[in-house]
Amino acid sequence: MKKFGLYGGLFLLMVIWGFNVIAIKLLVTEFTPIMIQSVRIFSASLVVFAVLLIAKDLRKLSRKEANYTIFGAVTGVVGHHSLLAIGLTDTSASNAGLILGLVPLMTALFAVLFLKERMTFLKASGILLALIGVSFVVLSGGDGLGSASSGDLYVFLSVTAQAVSFIFIKKGTETMSSRLMTGWMLLAGSSTLFIIGLIVEPQGSSALQEATWTMWLIFAVSAVFATGLGHMFYNKAIYHIGPGEAAVFNNLTPFFALLGAAIFLSEPIGWKQVIGFVLIVVGVMLGTGTVDYIMKRRERRYTSLQSYPRMRG
């Protein structure tokens, strides 16, 4: 029952994360992108710190932990969220959702480059398939390279930034809890984004005062559930069922982003995006070791069944 609850929670979280792409698209259309991201992430950090206080897990960081947290905040918060917001001002939510589906694969690639994990044939095949899938996505608006928007490039760079941040998070969480590091990263990153927003978007603060209650409701759901509570629940799921099983659910996020874009934004979904979606999902499952994990797990189950004593006739 406990695992069933985690699986159900993960499925719901993938729905929320998929629809969160649509929420951010709406927010960056209504507000200036960097300013609204800074306020949204700061709100999420307050949720995380509230949980840290309740769990009595809040403490100062050592110098080494602080360094990993700062680098994680620069790449995973400032880099990822600013590039994503800017990208969404110039591309569709459906394209962004599909490209964001590359995050697990890019993380696996950087683990090979920086953490000395082994590159296998399956990983290489997955990376190639996913990149072909992305090419279908970014070219879905036309007939050639000229149809690829700068927004798609910014979203891809945001994926790269987040994947790099996971390297620092992996190092940092060797001595501190993931939610403690997440809280400090969100706080430091959102504060930096706010300062950047004041400089490059001087009109951003005034736009915050003119929003409708509907936009603030979308903002609250995105900040609290998708970013704040969502990431903490995902980390908890990884702890209980392992990264292999949890990663399987990640492939649902691009699907719900596509679905949400079609339902809430009336974005047309073309055949190139569908092919891109399939290639990205298959590529991610191969490249992150998900397929290998599933095959090994089935092999273990088969072996255990074979070891049972057989009934004699």
Per-residue pLDDT reduced to its tens digit, 228-287:
999 888 877 877 776 666 767 877 888 899 999 999 999 988 888 889 889 988 888 887
Higher pLDDT, 32 or 104: 32
311 in any annotated domain: no
Q: How far from the centroid of its chain's Cα atoms is residue 164's Cα?
A: 12
Torsion region of 56: left, alpha or beta (phi above 0 gives left; psi -120 to 50 gives alpha): left
Higher pLDDT, 117 or 220: 220
Alpha-carbon gap, residue 276 to 6, rounded angstroms:
29
Is pLDDT above 50 for 138?
Answer: yes
Largest CA distance in the chain: 84
Q: 143 pLDDT band (50/70/90 cuts)? A: very low
Nearest to 88 by CA among 204, 261, 226: 261
312 in any annotated domain: no
Is pLDDT above 80 for 31?
Answer: yes
pLDDT score at 304: 58
Phi, psi of 142 (to 5 degrees): -165, -155
Average pLDDT, the chain: 86
CB 235 within 8 A of CB 243: no
Is pLDDT above 70 for 136?
Answer: yes
pLDDT score at 244: 61
pLDDT score at 301: 66
Q: 148 pLDDT band (50/70/90 cuts)? A: low
Give the count of domains, the chain: 1
Alpha-carbon gap, residue 300 to 39, rounded angstroms:
48
pLDDT digits (tens, 9 = 90+) for 183-192: 999 999 999 9
Range from 23-32, 35-44, 47-56, 163-172 carrying the lowest mean pLDDT: 163-172
**Could you tell me the residue range of the domain that residue 278 belongs to?**
2-306
Q: Which of 20-24, 146-150, 201-205, 274-278 has the highest mean pLDDT?
A: 20-24
Percent of the chain with pLDDT over 90: 51
Alpha-carbon gap, residue 68 to 168, rounded angstroms:
5
Give Rg (Cα) of the chain.
20
Burial of 214 (0-12, 13-18, 19+ CB in 10 A): exposed
CB 284 within 8 A of CB 130: yes
Percent of the chain with pLDDT over 70: 88
**DSSP strand E in 109-213: where?**
none
Alpha-carbon gap, residue 216 to 267, rounded angstroms:
23
288 in any annotated domain: yes
pLDDT score at 312: 45
Q: 307 CB contacts (<8 Å, ≥6 apart)?
A: none
Mean pLDDT of 4-14: 88
Residue 147 has what DSSP assignment? G
Amino acid code (one letter) for 133: G
Mean pLDDT of 182-208: 92
313 in any annotated domain: no
pLDDT score at 287: 79
26 in any annotated domain: yes
Centre a 10 Å sphere on the Cβ of residue 235 and count the other Cβ atoms it contains.
17
Residue 209 has what DSSP assignment? T
255 in any annotated domain: yes
Is pLDDT above 60 for 146?
Answer: no
pLDDT score at 239: 73
Is pLDDT above 60 for 310?
Answer: no
Higher pLDDT, 62 or 143: 62
